[in-house]
Amino acid sequence: MVFIYHYFHTLPMEVDKIWSGEWKMGKILFLLTTYSVLARIFTELPVRIPIQQMTAQSCWNYNLFNQLLSFVVLYAPAGSILLTLHALLGAKRKHLLIITTLYTAFMIFAAIMMALGIADVTAQPPDPPASAIFSCMFQQRTILPNTILTWGNVIREGTVLAFGAVVMYRRYREQNDFLIRTIRRDGALYLTTAFVLGVIAAGMRTPGATSDKYAVIMELRAIAYPILANRLLINLRDHPDYSTRTAISAILFEHTIHVPSEHNEEEVGGQHVLLEEVDADRRNDTDDSALDPPNTALATGVEGRAPLSARRVV
């Protein structure tokens, strides 16, 4: 119910800011994250509300589909964070290759552990009086694959958290514009929450520890991850200052951002750049070459000019 309330609360903003955009990774990840959670919620209704009896095979098929949706719910938000970090690193191919390789490796590992766990599950229709409450019951002989998977997720989340902290400190510790503040706030909130909940979930699945009988932590993760990741995307997309959105939009949302054309402009590197913004940047911003490492723009700038993260493209 929490996610459904959140969905309808943010739906007008989603329609305005996301649906109208190009089909780039930001839009795809946002919609995949949102609607995989909704699909998971609605697929649970026949099991949670026993309208009619389900066969053992139907229960097993339901469990398989539900686990696949859970896989998407956990990994799509992580993709949003990693793409944002890719933008912060200047959208270079070598960084994209490293991020994609690590992300794929963790996904393959998780898929293998999840498959082993699913294969170990037996499903059957419940006997009375449980049949009045549930349509299916599941038993698993061992939780070892789930335990390994959960600790693997902790390693993934800890790696991304450390990676994000290093990127923000090494490249952007002296910057405080809207884009950086948003990523620091929303990105850090997501990564910290994911890591803490992951550690708690892994601890509860460790043999000898107190188990999460009612799957409270699992459900909390399935709700918190999508909400926090989509909050980051919405805030990056929603801000009216085009100069803070240009570079990251090239990766997440759209190739160009259109602004009124009555301003003075000049052509730089084949792009039309507003003179007033370039001049303001030259007067007020720290020059790229003064930072360590030197390139802190979210996309390649032109030497001696303002970085693309501080321009409006017409």
Same domain, 82 and 163: yes
Burial of 297 from C-beta contacts in 10 A (0-12 / 13-18 / 19+): buried
Largest CA distance in the chain: 76
Confidence (pLDDT) at 110: 93
Q: What is the 3-state secondary structure (H, E, C) of 53-113?
A: CCCHHHHHHHHHHHHHHHHHHHHHHHHHHHHHHHHHCCCCHHHHHHHHHHHHHHHHHHHHH
Of 196, 212, 246, the position where a domain reaches its end is 246
Of 218, 246, 274, the position where a domain reaches its end is 246
Same domain, 97 and 227: yes
22-36 pLDDT tens trace? 888 888 999 999 999
Give the pTM. 0.73
Question: Does the residue 302 lie in any domain?
Answer: yes
Residue 233: closest CA among 20, 9, 80? 80
Same domain, 237 and 267: no
Range of the domain at 223: 2-246
Residue 313 pLDDT > 50, yes or no? no
Confidence (pLDDT) at 27: 87
Per-residue DSSP letter, 257: -
Tell me the torsion sign for CA atoms 290, 294, 295, 296.
Answer: negative
Same domain, 99 and 224: yes
Question: Does the residue 48 lie in any domain?
Answer: yes
Residue 267: partners with Cβ closer than 8 Å, 6 or more residues away: 273
Same domain, 227 and 263: no
Cα–Cα distance, 245 to 232 (Å, whole number): 13
Residues 299/247, Cβ–Cβ less than 8 Å: yes
The string over 272-283, giving b where at least 16 C-beta atoms fall within 10 Å of a residue's C-beta and e elsewhere, is bbbeebbeebee
CA atoms within 13 A on the CB side of 76: 27
Same domain, 215 and 289: no
Least confident of 55-64, 105-114, 153-162: 55-64
Same domain, 237 and 262: no
Question: Does the residue 240 lie in any domain?
Answer: yes
Same domain, 37 and 149: yes
Question: Does the residue 12 lie in any domain?
Answer: yes
Residue 162 pLDDT > 90, yes or no? yes
Question: Does the residue 66 lie in any domain?
Answer: yes
Same domain, 242 and 270: no
66-98 pLDDT tens trace? 889 989 988 889 888 888 888 888 778 888 898
Question: Cα dihedral angle (224, 3, 83, 190), rounded to 10 degrees?
Answer: -20
102-147 pLDDT tens trace? 999 999 999 999 999 998 888 888 877 777 777 888 888 888 898 9
CA distances from 252 to 7, 59, 87, 107, 298 (A): 21, 38, 9, 21, 12
Q: Considering its fold, how many domains does the chain have in total?
A: 2
Same domain, 156 and 280: no
Question: Does the residue 252 lie in any domain?
Answer: no
Token couple for 211: 């188990």
Residue 116: partners with Cβ closer than 8 Å, 6 or more residues away: 145
Question: Does the residue 251 lie in any domain?
Answer: no
193-218 pLDDT tens trace? 999 999 999 988 888 777 777 788 88
The string over 56-70, giving b where at least 16 C-beta atoms fall within 10 Å of a residue's C-beta and e elsewhere, is eebbbebbeebebbb
Residue 271 pLDDT > 50, yes or no? no
Question: Does the residue 253 lie in any domain?
Answer: no
Cα–Cα distance, 172 to 185 (Å, whole number): 13
Confidence of residue 286 (pLDDT cuts 50, 70, 90): very low
Cα–Cα distance, 162 to 84 (Å, whole number): 15
CA distances from 267 to 62, 270, 288 (A): 57, 6, 20
Token couple for 142: 């061992």
Burial of 191 from C-beta contacts in 10 A (0-12 / 13-18 / 19+): buried
Same domain, 121 and 172: yes
Same domain, 177 and 157: yes
224-258 pLDDT tens trace? 999 999 998 888 876 655 544 555 666 777 654 44
